Amino acid sequence: MAVVTPNNLPPLNKETFWAIINQEISDEVVNALLAYYLGYRFDGDRQRWELGEVESSWAQEYPEPPNFIENRPPTVKLTRSIPPENKQLLKEQLGFTGYKIGEFTPRHTRRATAVNWLLSYMAIHKLPLH
């Protein structure tokens, strides 16, 4: 996974979220966004991931940021970590009604989950959606 900082990540906004859903943003960037907002930080001097800001269950299970798009288990963990009141934010805030049957793959679903988790993160931290 690429080393990420707030300076090289796209902003958390509607344009970015639609670009994720529409597969206009690379899997690597989607993974980097999730890793960053989960608290993963890469220490370039020591060449290792710092987990001080990562919730303990994530740090224990994933000492390095997982690939959410390629692997189902970390995406399931993301889904389970979204509070019930935030489960419909993708629909409520973006008007996303889902993919059409026959036109979506697990990759599409994982990208939608990523966006919903990021929306939940924003709601929890009271960040405005633009």
Q: 7-43: per-residue pLDDT in tens?
A: 789 999 999 999 999 999 999 999 999 999 999 998 8
* Ranges of residues in the chain whose predicted pLDDT is under 70: 1-6
Tokens of 78: 């993301």
CA diameter of the chain = 47
How many beta carbons lie within 10 A of that of residue 129, not counting itself? 14
User: Residue 4: its pLDDT value, please?
Assistant: 56
- SS3 of 50, please? strand
- What pLDDT is recorded for position 47? 85
